[in-house]
Amino acid sequence: MSTSIRKVSFIGSGNVATHLAKALHKRGVEIGQIFSQQCDNSEVLAWQSNAKYICDLEELNTEVDLLIFAIKDEAIRQVAQFVYEKNPTVKVVHTSGSVSLEVFNGFENSGIFYPLQSFSKSKKIDIQEVPILITANNPVFKADLMGFARLISDRVYEYTDEQRKHLHVAAVFVNNFSNHLFAIAQEYCNRHQLEFEMLLPLIRETIHKIDTLPPKDAQTGPAKRNDKEIIEKHIALLQAEDPQLAVVYRTLSDSIMKMYFPADQ
């Protein structure tokens, strides 16, 4: 290993913790403990990564090379304070895309280990292809984290707090918002007794196209053509049954037209 980190424990047993713990275990990293207030979750992940599970934070053993916080953003500060009072010298990272490194103020070695991907426990993923963004409060720890990240990913980058926060916003657009639009389309199809599966080749082509084209060049559709007649027909159709969906359609169409026809807006 090009890192001194050989034993880690996880605070959290959700989607991110599950993928990281299993990947690290496969690469020979010892997983000490998995903590979760949901004992069933921590027990399952502990079994998958040959670790011990705990449901009481008081039982946390901080004698590890790294403690990974993979929990909800709003819980990080409070749990970090608890850990700091227990052992201020333990090395800590969190996996959030939007929480600042400042949340770990006081720790000698603190950082951020942000895997830029959407994780689900039941969905396998090639973590070697997942970008991992590293931030740290000192250069020595940063180098150690970079080496540690390379155990499981071929795409490891150093990012500042500010850069990572902006990238997280972009990630919400490409993942969360696009998936929400897929869900809207599926509900719309169901409402009109249409087969959503008919749209799957279109979805795949839309995604695959940006492997070779910038998204701006790949754009098609009535808003890209500035075809206001079609747009208004669609909006009228939506307005009759779902005014809120008509607002979404107009907002997105206006955004597209502003990008391609700024002088008309």
Are 110 and 238 in a shared domain? no
User: Is residue 149 domain-shared with residue 185, that is, in the same domain?
Assistant: no
The pLDDT tens digits of the residues spanning 118-154 come to 888 888 889 999 999 999 999 999 999 999 999 999 9
Contact at 8 Å (CB) between 136 and 110?
yes
Phi and psi at residue 187, to the nearest 5°: -65, -40
Would you place residue 1 in the very low, low, confident or very high pLDDT band (cuts 50, 70, 90)? low
Count of domains in the chain? 2
pLDDT per residue as tens digits for the range 81-101: 999 999 999 999 999 999 999
Q: Is the pTM of this model over 0.75?
A: yes
CB 135 within 8 A of CB 101: yes
At which residue do the structure tokens 């998995």 appear? Answer: 34
Alpha carbon distance 260, 265 (integer Å): 10
Do 231 and 215 lie in one domain? The reply is yes
Instruction: Residue 174: give the domain boundaries.
Output: 165-264
Q: What is the DSSP string of 145-176?
A: HHHHHTTT-S-EEE--HHHHHHHHHHHIIIII
pLDDT, residue 265, reads: 60
- Pick from 95, 96, 244: which is nearest to 180 by CA? 244
- Whether 93 and 216 share a structural domain: no
Residue 1, in any domain of the structure: no
Q: Is residue 40 assigned to a domain?
A: yes
186 inside domain:
yes
Q: Does residue 235 share a domain with residue 145?
A: no
Residues 57 and 78 in one domain: yes
What six digits make up the tokens of 244? 């809120």
Last residue of a domain, one of 159, 190, 208: 159
Rounded Cα distance, 130 and 154, in Å: 8
C-beta atoms surrounding 78 within 10 Å: 11
Q: What is the pLDDT of residue 264?
A: 72
CATH number of the domain at 113, please. 3.40.50.720
